Amino acid sequence: MTSWVGRTAAEIAAAVREKRATPREVVAEYLARIERLDARTGAFRTVRAEAALAEADEVASRAGLADLPLAGVPVAVKDNLSVRGEANRNGSAATSSAPAADDHVTVARLRAAGAVVVGLTNVPELCVFGTTEGVHGTARNPWDLSRTAGGSSGGSAAAVAAGLVPVALGNDGMGSLRIPAANCGLVTLKPGHGVVPAGIGNGDWFGMSENGPLATTVEDLRLVLSVLADAEFGRRVDPAPLTVAVSLRSPLLGVRVGKPYTSAVREAAGLLAGAGHRLRRAEPPYPASLGVTALRHWTAGTAVDAEGLDPARLARRTRVHAAVGRRFVGAVRTGEARERLRRRLEPFFAEHDVLLMPALARRSPEAGPWHERGWLRNLLLNTNYSPMTPTWNLTGWPAMSVPFGTLPSGTPRAVQLVARPGSEAVLLEVAGQLEELRPWRRTAPLDQIPRSGGGV
Protein backbone atom coordinates (compact mmCIF):
# COMPACT_ATOMS: atom_id res chain seq x y z
CA MET A 1 0.00 0.00 0.00
CA THR A 2 1.33 3.43 -0.97
CA SER A 3 1.95 5.82 1.91
CA TRP A 4 1.12 9.47 1.32
CA VAL A 5 2.63 10.85 4.52
CA GLY A 6 5.88 12.56 3.64
CA ARG A 7 4.87 13.25 0.04
CA THR A 8 4.76 16.81 -1.23
CA ALA A 9 1.50 18.61 -1.87
CA ALA A 10 2.29 18.57 -5.59
CA GLU A 11 2.76 14.78 -5.53
CA ILE A 12 -0.45 14.18 -3.58
CA ALA A 13 -2.52 16.43 -5.82
CA ALA A 14 -1.17 14.75 -8.96
CA ALA A 15 -1.98 11.29 -7.57
CA VAL A 16 -5.54 12.31 -6.68
CA ARG A 17 -6.14 13.94 -10.05
CA GLU A 18 -4.86 10.82 -11.79
CA LYS A 19 -7.03 8.54 -9.58
CA ARG A 20 -3.97 6.84 -8.06
CA ALA A 21 -5.24 7.91 -4.64
CA THR A 22 -8.51 9.10 -3.19
CA PRO A 23 -8.81 12.22 -1.03
CA ARG A 24 -10.26 10.11 1.79
CA GLU A 25 -7.33 7.70 1.99
CA VAL A 26 -4.82 10.56 1.92
CA VAL A 27 -6.64 12.55 4.59
CA ALA A 28 -7.23 9.47 6.76
CA GLU A 29 -3.51 8.66 6.74
CA TYR A 30 -2.60 12.17 7.85
CA LEU A 31 -5.30 12.18 10.52
CA ALA A 32 -3.85 8.96 11.92
CA ARG A 33 -0.40 10.55 12.10
CA ILE A 34 -1.83 13.61 13.83
CA GLU A 35 -3.56 11.41 16.38
CA ARG A 36 -0.32 9.54 17.04
CA LEU A 37 2.16 12.42 17.20
CA ASP A 38 0.51 15.77 17.84
CA ALA A 39 0.52 15.33 21.62
CA ARG A 40 4.29 15.75 21.31
CA THR A 41 4.33 18.79 19.00
CA GLY A 42 1.27 20.75 20.18
CA ALA A 43 0.67 21.88 16.62
CA PHE A 44 -3.14 21.79 16.62
CA ARG A 45 -5.71 23.57 18.75
CA THR A 46 -8.43 21.49 17.17
CA VAL A 47 -8.47 18.61 14.70
CA ARG A 48 -11.46 18.25 12.38
CA ALA A 49 -11.27 14.48 11.88
CA GLU A 50 -14.89 13.72 10.97
CA ALA A 51 -15.43 16.97 9.09
CA ALA A 52 -12.18 16.55 7.15
CA LEU A 53 -13.15 13.09 5.95
CA ALA A 54 -16.51 14.45 4.80
CA GLU A 55 -14.68 17.26 2.97
CA ALA A 56 -12.40 14.70 1.35
CA ASP A 57 -15.42 12.82 0.02
CA GLU A 58 -16.87 16.07 -1.32
CA VAL A 59 -13.63 16.81 -3.18
CA ALA A 60 -13.67 13.31 -4.69
CA SER A 61 -17.20 13.88 -6.00
CA ARG A 62 -16.40 17.10 -7.88
CA ALA A 63 -16.87 16.99 -11.62
CA GLY A 64 -13.68 19.01 -12.18
CA LEU A 65 -11.39 16.92 -9.98
CA ALA A 66 -8.79 16.63 -12.74
CA ASP A 67 -8.34 20.40 -12.76
CA LEU A 68 -7.87 21.02 -9.03
CA PRO A 69 -4.32 22.20 -8.22
CA LEU A 70 -4.55 20.99 -4.58
CA ALA A 71 -6.83 17.98 -5.09
CA GLY A 72 -7.08 16.07 -1.83
CA VAL A 73 -4.16 17.84 -0.14
CA PRO A 74 -4.55 18.03 3.68
CA VAL A 75 -3.86 21.54 4.99
CA ALA A 76 -3.72 23.16 8.42
CA VAL A 77 -4.98 26.70 9.05
CA LYS A 78 -3.64 29.17 11.60
CA ASP A 79 -6.15 29.86 14.34
CA ASN A 80 -6.58 33.55 13.57
CA LEU A 81 -8.31 32.89 10.23
CA SER A 82 -11.95 31.88 9.96
CA VAL A 83 -12.83 28.31 9.01
CA ARG A 84 -16.54 27.79 8.46
CA GLY A 85 -18.08 25.87 11.36
CA GLU A 86 -15.08 26.30 13.69
CA ALA A 87 -14.34 28.87 16.38
CA ASN A 88 -11.61 31.42 15.64
CA ARG A 89 -9.89 31.64 19.05
CA ASN A 90 -6.70 33.52 18.11
CA GLY A 91 -4.87 31.80 20.96
CA SER A 92 -6.98 33.44 23.66
CA ALA A 93 -9.55 32.65 26.33
CA ALA A 94 -11.03 36.11 25.70
CA THR A 95 -12.26 35.43 22.17
CA SER A 96 -15.60 33.93 21.16
CA SER A 97 -16.13 30.18 21.01
CA ALA A 98 -18.94 30.60 18.46
CA PRO A 99 -18.30 28.85 15.13
CA ALA A 100 -17.48 31.03 12.14
CA ALA A 101 -20.24 31.39 9.58
CA ASP A 102 -17.89 31.70 6.60
CA ASP A 103 -14.38 30.83 5.49
CA HIS A 104 -11.71 33.49 5.33
CA VAL A 105 -11.04 34.23 1.66
CA THR A 106 -7.68 32.41 1.74
CA VAL A 107 -9.31 29.32 3.26
CA ALA A 108 -12.05 29.50 0.65
CA ARG A 109 -9.43 29.60 -2.11
CA LEU A 110 -7.61 26.58 -0.69
CA ARG A 111 -10.86 24.62 -0.49
CA ALA A 112 -11.90 25.67 -3.99
CA ALA A 113 -8.55 24.32 -5.21
CA GLY A 114 -9.33 20.94 -3.65
CA ALA A 115 -7.48 21.20 -0.33
CA VAL A 116 -9.01 19.66 2.82
CA VAL A 117 -8.74 21.52 6.14
CA VAL A 118 -7.77 18.97 8.80
CA GLY A 119 -7.46 21.39 11.70
CA LEU A 120 -6.63 24.79 13.17
CA THR A 121 -3.17 25.36 14.59
CA ASN A 122 -1.94 26.86 17.85
CA VAL A 123 -0.85 30.48 18.11
CA PRO A 124 0.26 32.75 20.96
CA GLU A 125 -2.51 34.99 22.26
CA LEU A 126 -3.56 37.49 19.57
CA CYS A 127 -0.54 36.31 17.57
CA VAL A 128 1.70 38.81 19.33
CA PHE A 129 4.92 36.95 20.08
CA GLY A 130 7.60 34.86 18.37
CA THR A 131 6.94 31.85 20.60
CA THR A 132 3.72 29.82 20.60
CA GLU A 133 2.16 28.90 23.93
CA GLY A 134 -0.96 29.76 25.91
CA VAL A 135 -4.26 28.45 27.16
CA HIS A 136 -4.72 26.25 24.09
CA GLY A 137 -1.31 24.59 24.14
CA THR A 138 2.41 24.90 23.38
CA ALA A 139 3.79 24.35 19.89
CA ARG A 140 7.21 22.69 19.97
CA ASN A 141 9.91 22.44 17.34
CA PRO A 142 9.68 18.89 15.91
CA TRP A 143 13.45 18.89 15.44
CA ASP A 144 14.00 19.54 19.16
CA LEU A 145 10.96 19.17 21.38
CA SER A 146 12.60 21.14 24.17
CA ARG A 147 12.46 24.27 21.97
CA THR A 148 9.58 26.45 20.81
CA ALA A 149 8.45 26.13 17.23
CA GLY A 150 8.49 29.94 17.09
CA GLY A 151 5.57 32.21 16.42
CA SER A 152 3.14 33.34 15.81
CA SER A 153 2.47 30.73 13.10
CA GLY A 154 4.18 28.22 15.36
CA GLY A 155 1.49 25.56 15.26
CA SER A 156 1.31 25.67 11.47
CA ALA A 157 5.10 25.35 11.20
CA ALA A 158 5.22 22.49 13.71
CA ALA A 159 2.48 20.66 11.81
CA VAL A 160 4.38 20.82 8.51
CA ALA A 161 7.81 20.07 9.98
CA ALA A 162 6.40 17.03 11.82
CA GLY A 163 4.80 15.71 8.64
CA LEU A 164 1.29 16.11 10.08
CA VAL A 165 0.30 17.99 6.91
CA PRO A 166 2.28 18.67 3.72
CA VAL A 167 1.50 22.42 3.76
CA ALA A 168 -0.12 24.93 6.10
CA LEU A 169 -1.53 28.44 6.07
CA GLY A 170 -0.13 31.14 8.34
CA ASN A 171 0.45 34.87 8.37
CA ASP A 172 3.19 37.34 9.16
CA GLY A 173 2.90 40.72 10.89
CA MET A 174 6.44 41.09 12.28
CA GLY A 175 7.98 37.80 11.14
CA SER A 176 5.29 35.33 12.14
CA LEU A 177 5.81 33.09 9.09
CA ARG A 178 9.57 33.48 8.70
CA ILE A 179 10.49 32.99 12.38
CA PRO A 180 8.86 29.56 12.83
CA ALA A 181 9.88 28.50 9.33
CA ALA A 182 13.51 29.28 10.18
CA ASN A 183 13.24 27.35 13.45
CA CYS A 184 11.53 24.33 11.91
CA GLY A 185 13.42 23.96 8.62
CA LEU A 186 10.62 25.12 6.30
CA VAL A 187 10.45 27.43 3.34
CA THR A 188 7.97 30.31 3.42
CA LEU A 189 7.30 33.62 1.75
CA LYS A 190 5.70 36.70 3.25
CA PRO A 191 4.26 38.23 0.10
CA GLY A 192 4.37 41.93 -0.60
CA HIS A 193 1.41 44.06 0.35
CA GLY A 194 -1.72 43.30 -1.66
CA VAL A 195 -0.49 40.12 -3.35
CA VAL A 196 -2.58 37.77 -1.16
CA PRO A 197 -5.80 38.93 0.53
CA ALA A 198 -5.14 39.81 4.16
CA GLY A 199 -8.16 40.49 6.39
CA ILE A 200 -6.31 39.52 9.59
CA GLY A 201 -7.62 40.80 12.91
CA ASN A 202 -8.78 44.41 13.13
CA GLY A 203 -6.98 45.95 10.19
CA ASP A 204 -4.02 43.68 9.44
CA TRP A 205 -1.80 45.50 11.95
CA PHE A 206 -2.15 48.67 9.85
CA GLY A 207 -1.47 46.77 6.65
CA MET A 208 1.70 45.02 7.87
CA SER A 209 0.26 41.49 8.16
CA GLU A 210 0.19 39.16 5.16
CA ASN A 211 -1.11 35.63 4.69
CA GLY A 212 1.16 32.97 3.21
CA PRO A 213 2.02 29.27 3.08
CA LEU A 214 4.53 27.13 4.95
CA ALA A 215 5.98 24.26 2.93
CA THR A 216 8.86 21.80 2.70
CA THR A 217 9.77 22.52 -0.94
CA VAL A 218 9.89 25.60 -3.14
CA GLU A 219 7.62 23.80 -5.62
CA ASP A 220 4.92 23.39 -2.95
CA LEU A 221 5.41 26.98 -1.80
CA ARG A 222 4.94 28.27 -5.34
CA LEU A 223 1.88 26.04 -5.85
CA VAL A 224 0.06 27.13 -2.70
CA LEU A 225 1.06 30.79 -3.06
CA SER A 226 -0.41 30.78 -6.59
CA VAL A 227 -3.71 29.50 -5.19
CA LEU A 228 -3.77 32.06 -2.38
CA ALA A 229 -2.90 34.95 -4.69
CA ASP A 230 -5.01 33.70 -7.62
CA ALA A 231 -1.97 34.46 -9.78
CA GLU A 232 0.99 32.67 -11.32
CA PHE A 233 4.57 33.16 -10.18
CA GLY A 234 6.36 31.94 -13.27
CA ARG A 235 10.07 31.38 -13.74
CA ARG A 236 12.17 33.81 -15.77
CA VAL A 237 13.04 32.63 -19.29
CA ASP A 238 16.83 32.62 -19.81
CA PRO A 239 17.33 34.54 -16.56
CA ALA A 240 20.13 37.07 -16.31
CA PRO A 241 22.38 37.10 -13.22
CA LEU A 242 20.99 39.00 -10.26
CA THR A 243 22.78 41.54 -8.10
CA VAL A 244 22.59 40.17 -4.56
CA ALA A 245 23.48 42.27 -1.51
CA VAL A 246 24.95 40.28 1.39
CA SER A 247 24.18 41.66 4.85
CA LEU A 248 25.38 40.18 8.14
CA ARG A 249 24.31 42.66 10.80
CA SER A 250 21.07 43.10 12.68
CA PRO A 251 18.73 45.90 11.57
CA LEU A 252 18.29 46.79 15.26
CA LEU A 253 21.09 48.55 17.11
CA GLY A 254 22.68 46.60 19.94
CA VAL A 255 21.44 43.17 18.84
CA ARG A 256 24.17 40.70 17.87
CA VAL A 257 23.71 38.00 15.23
CA GLY A 258 25.13 34.61 16.21
CA LYS A 259 27.90 33.01 14.17
CA PRO A 260 25.80 30.05 12.90
CA TYR A 261 23.45 32.49 11.16
CA THR A 262 26.15 34.73 9.70
CA SER A 263 27.97 31.60 8.53
CA ALA A 264 24.81 30.42 6.78
CA VAL A 265 24.62 33.72 4.89
CA ARG A 266 28.28 33.52 3.85
CA GLU A 267 27.86 29.94 2.64
CA ALA A 268 24.67 30.76 0.74
CA ALA A 269 26.40 33.75 -0.85
CA GLY A 270 29.19 31.47 -2.07
CA LEU A 271 26.70 29.11 -3.69
CA LEU A 272 24.83 31.93 -5.42
CA ALA A 273 28.10 33.44 -6.66
CA GLY A 274 29.03 30.04 -8.07
CA ALA A 275 25.65 29.96 -9.82
CA GLY A 276 26.59 33.15 -11.69
CA HIS A 277 24.96 35.90 -9.62
CA ARG A 278 26.77 39.11 -8.69
CA LEU A 279 27.33 39.11 -4.93
CA ARG A 280 28.16 42.33 -3.11
CA ARG A 281 28.68 42.89 0.60
CA ALA A 282 26.33 45.77 1.44
CA GLU A 283 24.33 46.80 4.50
CA PRO A 284 20.93 48.47 4.05
CA PRO A 285 20.83 52.00 5.52
CA TYR A 286 18.62 51.12 8.48
CA PRO A 287 17.76 54.19 10.58
CA ALA A 288 18.88 54.23 14.22
CA SER A 289 15.23 54.74 15.17
CA LEU A 290 14.10 51.47 13.55
CA GLY A 291 13.73 49.63 16.86
CA VAL A 292 11.45 52.31 18.27
CA THR A 293 9.40 52.38 15.07
CA ALA A 294 8.99 48.60 15.14
CA LEU A 295 7.98 48.59 18.81
CA ARG A 296 5.36 51.29 18.28
CA HIS A 297 3.77 49.42 15.37
CA TRP A 298 3.98 46.03 17.09
CA THR A 299 2.27 47.22 20.26
CA ALA A 300 -0.26 49.43 18.47
CA GLY A 301 -1.39 46.48 16.35
CA THR A 302 -2.06 44.51 19.52
CA ALA A 303 -3.90 47.44 21.08
CA VAL A 304 -6.33 47.50 18.16
CA ASP A 305 -6.80 43.73 18.15
CA ALA A 306 -7.49 43.73 21.91
CA GLU A 307 -10.32 46.27 21.64
CA GLY A 308 -13.58 44.78 22.86
CA LEU A 309 -11.95 41.82 24.62
CA ASP A 310 -12.22 41.32 28.38
CA PRO A 311 -8.81 42.35 29.79
CA ALA A 312 -9.27 40.01 32.74
CA ARG A 313 -9.22 37.06 30.33
CA LEU A 314 -6.03 38.15 28.56
CA ALA A 315 -2.56 37.06 29.67
CA ARG A 316 -0.54 39.71 31.50
CA ARG A 317 2.04 40.06 28.72
CA THR A 318 -0.78 40.70 26.22
CA ARG A 319 -2.48 43.28 28.45
CA VAL A 320 0.76 45.21 28.92
CA HIS A 321 1.63 45.02 25.22
CA ALA A 322 -1.77 46.45 24.30
CA ALA A 323 -1.58 49.13 27.00
CA VAL A 324 1.81 50.30 25.71
CA GLY A 325 0.49 50.39 22.16
CA ARG A 326 -2.62 52.48 22.82
CA ARG A 327 -0.60 55.68 23.00
CA PHE A 328 0.85 55.01 19.53
CA VAL A 329 -2.26 54.01 17.56
CA GLY A 330 -2.98 57.48 16.20
CA ALA A 331 0.57 58.14 15.01
CA VAL A 332 0.97 54.65 13.57
CA ARG A 333 -2.31 54.85 11.67
CA THR A 334 -1.00 57.75 9.55
CA GLY A 335 1.64 55.50 7.97
CA GLU A 336 4.19 58.32 7.92
CA ALA A 337 6.97 56.40 9.68
CA ARG A 338 6.60 53.46 7.32
CA GLU A 339 6.68 55.72 4.28
CA ARG A 340 9.88 57.39 5.53
CA LEU A 341 11.45 53.95 5.97
CA ARG A 342 10.48 52.91 2.45
CA ARG A 343 11.97 56.09 0.97
CA ARG A 344 15.19 55.52 2.89
CA LEU A 345 15.57 51.91 1.68
CA GLU A 346 14.35 52.27 -1.92
CA PRO A 347 17.73 53.47 -3.33
CA PHE A 348 19.40 50.39 -1.87
CA PHE A 349 16.95 48.10 -3.66
CA ALA A 350 17.31 50.10 -6.85
CA GLU A 351 20.96 48.94 -6.84
CA HIS A 352 20.33 45.36 -5.67
CA ASP A 353 17.80 42.81 -6.92
CA VAL A 354 17.87 40.69 -3.77
CA LEU A 355 19.05 41.10 -0.20
CA LEU A 356 20.53 37.98 1.44
CA MET A 357 20.62 38.21 5.24
CA PRO A 358 20.17 36.07 8.36
CA ALA A 359 16.67 34.84 9.16
CA LEU A 360 17.27 34.83 12.93
CA ALA A 361 19.92 36.10 15.31
CA ARG A 362 20.02 32.99 17.48
CA ARG A 363 18.27 29.65 17.93
CA SER A 364 14.72 29.42 19.21
CA PRO A 365 14.10 29.73 22.96
CA GLU A 366 13.16 26.83 25.17
CA ALA A 367 9.50 25.86 25.01
CA GLY A 368 7.72 26.88 28.16
CA PRO A 369 5.00 29.00 29.74
CA TRP A 370 6.17 32.30 28.28
CA HIS A 371 2.57 33.55 28.44
CA GLU A 372 2.84 33.43 32.24
CA ARG A 373 6.03 35.48 32.31
CA GLY A 374 6.43 39.23 32.34
CA TRP A 375 6.07 41.51 29.35
CA LEU A 376 9.61 42.91 29.49
CA ARG A 377 11.11 39.44 29.64
CA ASN A 378 9.11 38.42 26.55
CA LEU A 379 10.03 41.65 24.78
CA LEU A 380 13.76 41.15 25.31
CA LEU A 381 13.57 37.49 24.34
CA ASN A 382 11.79 38.23 21.08
CA THR A 383 13.98 41.21 20.19
CA ASN A 384 17.25 39.37 20.75
CA TYR A 385 16.36 36.20 18.87
CA SER A 386 14.29 37.57 15.99
CA PRO A 387 15.33 41.13 15.06
CA MET A 388 15.79 40.33 11.37
CA THR A 389 12.18 40.24 10.14
CA PRO A 390 10.09 43.30 11.22
CA THR A 391 11.68 45.76 8.77
CA TRP A 392 10.03 44.04 5.82
CA ASN A 393 6.57 44.20 7.39
CA LEU A 394 7.05 47.90 7.97
CA THR A 395 7.98 48.41 4.30
CA GLY A 396 5.40 45.91 3.01
CA TRP A 397 7.98 44.23 0.75
CA PRO A 398 8.27 40.49 0.03
CA ALA A 399 10.62 38.44 2.20
CA MET A 400 11.18 34.74 2.68
CA SER A 401 12.95 32.25 4.91
CA VAL A 402 14.89 29.42 3.27
CA PRO A 403 16.39 26.45 5.16
CA PHE A 404 20.17 26.32 4.92
CA GLY A 405 22.11 23.70 6.84
CA THR A 406 21.93 23.01 10.55
CA LEU A 407 22.98 24.50 13.85
CA PRO A 408 25.60 22.71 15.97
CA SER A 409 22.68 20.98 17.73
CA GLY A 410 21.48 19.49 14.44
CA THR A 411 18.35 21.63 14.30
CA PRO A 412 17.72 23.67 11.15
CA ARG A 413 19.12 27.10 10.44
CA ALA A 414 18.00 29.46 7.67
CA VAL A 415 18.70 32.53 5.59
CA GLN A 416 16.33 35.32 4.63
CA LEU A 417 15.79 36.74 1.14
CA VAL A 418 14.21 40.16 0.55
CA ALA A 419 13.36 42.05 -2.63
CA ARG A 420 11.52 45.10 -3.91
CA PRO A 421 7.71 45.05 -4.42
CA GLY A 422 6.48 42.68 -7.09
CA SER A 423 9.53 40.39 -6.86
CA GLU A 424 7.93 37.29 -5.37
CA ALA A 425 8.83 35.24 -8.47
CA VAL A 426 12.46 36.36 -8.24
CA LEU A 427 12.66 35.31 -4.59
CA LEU A 428 11.14 31.92 -5.40
CA GLU A 429 13.71 31.47 -8.16
CA VAL A 430 16.65 32.22 -5.86
CA ALA A 431 15.20 29.99 -3.14
CA GLY A 432 14.85 27.21 -5.69
CA GLN A 433 18.51 27.56 -6.62
CA LEU A 434 19.53 27.31 -2.98
CA GLU A 435 17.31 24.24 -2.57
CA GLU A 436 18.99 22.60 -5.57
CA LEU A 437 22.50 23.49 -4.45
CA ARG A 438 22.03 22.69 -0.75
CA PRO A 439 19.01 20.38 -0.34
CA TRP A 440 17.45 20.23 3.10
CA ARG A 441 15.82 17.40 5.00
CA ARG A 442 12.12 18.05 4.57
CA THR A 443 10.61 16.74 7.82
CA ALA A 444 11.88 16.04 11.31
CA PRO A 445 12.52 12.42 12.33
CA LEU A 446 9.95 12.82 15.08
CA ASP A 447 9.66 9.09 15.76
CA GLN A 448 13.37 9.05 16.63
CA ILE A 449 13.41 12.05 19.00
CA PRO A 450 13.11 11.27 22.72
CA ARG A 451 9.91 12.52 24.32
CA SER A 452 11.89 14.73 26.70
CA GLY A 453 13.23 16.72 23.77
CA GLY A 454 16.26 16.82 21.53
CA GLY A 455 19.80 17.96 21.97
CA VAL A 456 20.95 21.50 22.54
Which residues are part of the catalytic machinery?
A: 78, 152, 176
Strands 210-215 and 278-281, sheet pairing = unpaired
Strands 167-172 and 74-78, sheet pairing = parallel
| Helices (runs of H) and strands (runs of E) counted in the chain | 16, 13
* Beta-sheet strands, E only, within 66-121: 74-78, 116-121
**DSSP string computed for 11-78:** HHHHHHHTTSS-HHHHHHHHHHHHHHHHHHH--EEEE-HHHHHHHHHHHHT-TTGGG-TTTT-EEEEE
First to last CA, the chain: 38
**What's the rounded Cα separation, in Å, for the pair 250 and 437?**
26
Closest CA to 300 of 322, 272, 315, 285: 322
Rg (CA), the chain: 20
Using CB atoms within 10 Å of the CB of residue 347, give its burial: 0 to 12 exposed, 13 to 18 middle, 19+ buried. exposed
Q: Calculate the alpha carbon distances from 94 to 88, 252, 314 in Å.
A: 11, 33, 6
**What's the rounded Cα separation, in Å, for the pair 18 and 194?**
34
